[in-house]
Chains A and B, each alone.
Chain A
């Protein structure tokens, strides 16, 4: 079955760039997503990328997709303390009824 793997923890200093990595196994993935979860809250969609793209930029966020290696990354420029949260990578496949398969999440801690 599908599998999505992420590193569990990342610590950076305020102002630095953060890079969160994700690998997936399903070669039929059509969309890949990044969600953010703050403590006690639901999941907020940050961005997504279609599988025929290799990069997407949205303000401070840059998503890179290496489809050959099944590797997805999320770069956050000028990381702020408000970016501290858990970040989930997810992939969508199986066509019209696509559910999402999530990684276990990467906890990003931004220190002042």
Chain B
């Protein structure tokens, strides 16, 4: 089972460049999430999508946009990358039900120089 798949795994950007992180899940989950992980900060929620067609801001949404393209896919876009956006980005998905468990992708390492 693929689970949650993120691309790219590694990316280096120059300040001001734009890019999109792609995420897809094959578990027929309703909700999808984007988190960022920084040293000493744990995981912080950027945006989430409770269901297809809806998106909501999380704790740290500034500088990001998202698109819930369909039930499977949830992309994160950086319109004008800044060094402060250097981080590891995790996509996740959840099926409402027992445990409300969230499953994570393997992460995307982004460096902005």
Contacts and interface: CB of A to CB of B under 8 A. Distances in A.
Interface of A: 30-31, 33, 35, 41-45, 48, 50, 88, 92, 96-100, 102-105
B107 A99 contact: no
Nearest to B9: A40
27 contacts: A30-B100, A31-B99, A31-B100, A41-B106, A41-B107, A42-B104, A42-B105, A43-B43, A43-B90, A43-B104, A48-B99, A88-B42, A96-B50, A96-B96, A97-B50, A97-B56, A98-B94, A98-B100, A99-B45, A99-B58, A100-B43, A100-B102, A102-B42, A102-B44, A103-B42, A104-B40, A104-B41
Interface residues of B, number: 24
B1 interface: no
Dominant SS at the A interface? Answer: strand
B70 interface: no
- Closest 3 pairs (CB-CB, A-B): A104-B42, A97-B50, A102-B43
A39 B102 CA distance: 20
Interface of B: 31, 33, 40-45, 48, 50, 56, 58, 90, 94, 96, 99-107
A2 to B, nearest CB: 10
Question: Which residue of A43, A44, A104 has the most chain B CB atoms within 10 A of its CB atom?
Answer: A43
